Structure 1
Amino acid sequence: MTRYLALLRGVNVNGRTVRSADLAAVVESIGGAGVRTVLASGNAAFDSDRDPAELKPALEAALEERFGYDAWIVLVEQEALAAVARAYPFERIDDVAHPYVVFGSSDAALDDALAAIGTNDVDLLQRGAGVLYWRCPRGSSTDTPAAKVLARAAYRATTTTRNLRTVEKLAAA
């Protein structure tokens, strides 16, 4: 069995509530085993023998059916997620900036987002394996150039962001 992390996009914000117990039940309904939800931001760790190309749409469909929204997830193997956390290229903890990881549904989506963001004096960005590493000033994670691009409709269905501490917790789930 492979340990996976399902990272849900856009839950527990803007009135879209997904309780941890309900999320776990949905994952179990598609055959996920050893389900553990992590934090209240739409993260589920679970084991499965299913092919990821089959697992992702099955979980999205089950989420849509249960919660009534157009569900989109990033599905990552736990080992790959741990490697992403270890590879974070910027300062991890300091008093002036937040460390984030932007997960994408495809390399093309991430490359497009990176090109749209461009170079600026506020955000530090670097492309990684299946992710964009992002570091931005504390208190401005919703209004930097990168944040504004990632909030566009074009990227809402293809990217989801987690802070580095959450990624590290997920890697251990």
Structure 2
Amino acid sequence: MTRYCAFFESLTVRGDRLSMADLRYAFEREELENAETVISSGNVLFDYEERPSEGLEDLLAYLMRDRFDLKAFVAVRTREEIRAAVEENPFAGESGDSFVHTMLLEKQPTQAQFDRLVADHGTLGEERLALGARCLFVDYARPPAESLLTGEFIAKRLGCRGTVRNVRSLARILTKM
């Protein structure tokens, strides 16, 4: 069995938060073992037979539609993939880790897509960007809520969706795994 973490983008049901107990139960019914939420809603650790994380993303997206009538984006990563996202973030420790984030992406953008993001971002703000393996590293240099660099802006230029966690949260998840 391999330990994974599912990072859900947004879990709301008609304006109410989805119960993490309900989510854990749905995981167990799909034979995703030892499901547990970690840090905050939207992060679920679980064990499953080893397979590419992209296939698990499809399975969990289906589960969310089938069980909860939700279209939720989910990024699934192994312990090693999370470790790489933490260790390879070039901005970690520079601006206060609450401002340094990793966007876990549904696929690997091309260099041309990343270059377009950087060019279109231009003078919108002070943020710094770097491309990783199926992730985008962002140093917001201030509270992210004050930034004009939104998930929608990023997704449009990279041609894929993602979900964001700060580096402290990723490090704590990695420790929990």
Once residues 88 and 168 of structure 1 are traced to their aligned partners in structure 2, the CA distance between those partners, rounded to angstroms, is 11
Structure 2 SS opposite 1:151: helix
Q: Is the 2:98–2:167 contact (alpha carbons within 8 Å) kept by the matching residues of 1? A: no
Matches within 5 A, 1:11-26: 11-12=11-12, 15=15, 17-26=17-26
Q: CA deviation at 1:138?
A: 2.4
Matched, 1:61 2:65: no
Q: Is the 1:20–1:37 contact (alpha carbons within 8 Å) kept by the matching residues of 2? A: yes
Which range moved further: 77-86 or 94-103? 94-103
Give the superposed CA RMSD. Answer: 2.9
Residue segments in structure 1 that go unaligned for 5+ positions in a row: none
CA shift in 2, pair 1:30/1:157, >3 Å: farther
Q: Please tell me the residue identity of whatever aligns with 2:107.
A: S
Aligned to 1:127: 131
Once residues 55 and 102 of structure 2 are traced to their aligned partners in structure 1, the CA distance between those partners, rounded to angstroms, is 25
Once residues 13 and 166 of structure 1 are traced to their aligned partners in structure 2, the CA distance between those partners, rounded to angstroms, is 24
CA shift in 2, pair 1:17/1:109, >3 Å: farther
Aligned to 1:144: 147
Q: Is the 1:9–1:72 contact (alpha carbons within 8 Å) kept by the matching residues of 2? A: yes
CA shift in 2, pair 1:114/1:143, >3 Å: farther
Which range moved further: 86-95 or 25-34? 86-95
Q: Is the 2:113–2:159 contact (alpha carbons within 8 Å) kept by the matching residues of 1? A: no
Aligned to 2:169: 166
Once residues 110 and 68 of structure 2 are traced to their aligned partners in structure 1, the CA distance between those partners, rounded to angstroms, is 26
Q: TM-score, normalised by structure 1?
A: 0.82
